[in-house]
Structure 1
Amino acid sequence: MYDTPVLYTINSCSRCQIVKNHLLSMDIDFSEVNLSQTPDRHRDLKAYIGEVYVPLFIYGNRIIKGDCLEEINKILIQSGDRIVKSNIKPDSTC
């Protein structure tokens, strides 16, 4: 369980950058775990969700795989964090 939002990313991942930019544009405090820079964290992620997948957004006990911005917004709204309605369309695989 994560008390603050965590975003798992890797270098050269455009979908990771979309989510990161979205959170930054809304001034959401989050921790980024870049698996390219901290490869030992692969094990943590695999133990937690059973696989290594990026981008991966975790907040509380909620997990969002991919760049599903509207789903991320829903989690942040439910948590009471300030949210600005996104003009970015979520990935169709959400």
Structure 2
Amino acid sequence: MKQVTIYTTHNCAYCNAVKMYLKQKGVKYTEFDISRDLKKQLEVAKLTGQSSIPVVIIGNKVITGFDIQQLNKLLGLQDFTGKKNRKIL
């Protein structure tokens, strides 16, 4: 499975939703709370050009916000129809 990193803050509803979704799917991740780490805040700004969160990094791909379709696609998980997302080569 690809490495997953999440940039969050403690009071962010969408951050909590992303974490809960990944836990439900059995996906392990590394979390950084940017409200407590200026260096990580700067990383988010550099990665996305903005300061909005959550930011999810899967491999070398960046997702901003809670985008279930993108999460499923990049992690090879099933979508809401029960079909496994296929990777296009």
Which TM-score band (shorter chain)?
A: 0.7 to 0.9
**CA distance in structure 2 between the partners assigned to 1:86 and 1:23 by the alignment:** 15
**Are the structure 2 counterparts of residues 13 and 76 from structure 1 closer, same or farther at C-alpha, using a change threshold of 3 Å?**
same
Is contact 2:44-2:55 (8 Å) kept?
no
**CA distance in structure 2 between the partners assigned to 1:49 and 1:16 by the alignment:** 16
**CA distance in structure 1 between the partners assigned to 2:14 and 2:41 by the alignment:** 18
In structure 2, stretches of 5+ residues that fail to align are 82-89
Partner in structure 2 of residue 56 of structure 1:
55
Partner in structure 1 of residue 69 of structure 2:
70
**CA distance in structure 1 between the partners assigned to 2:80 and 2:14 by the alignment:** 16
1:59 to partner: Cα distance: 1.1
The equivalences for 1:24-63 within 5 A come to 24-63=23-62
TM-score, with structure 1 as normaliser: 0.73
Partner in structure 1 of residue 20 of structure 2:
21
Aligned residues: 80
**CA distance in structure 2 between the partners assigned to 1:49 and 1:68 by the alignment:** 15
Larger Rg: 1 or 2? 2
**Identity within the alignment, %:** 24
Q: State the secondary structure of the residue aligned to 1:8.
A: strand
Matched residue type, 1:49: T
Is contact 1:5-1:29 (8 Å) kept?
yes
**CA distance in structure 2 between the partners assigned to 1:62 and 1:45 by the alignment:** 13
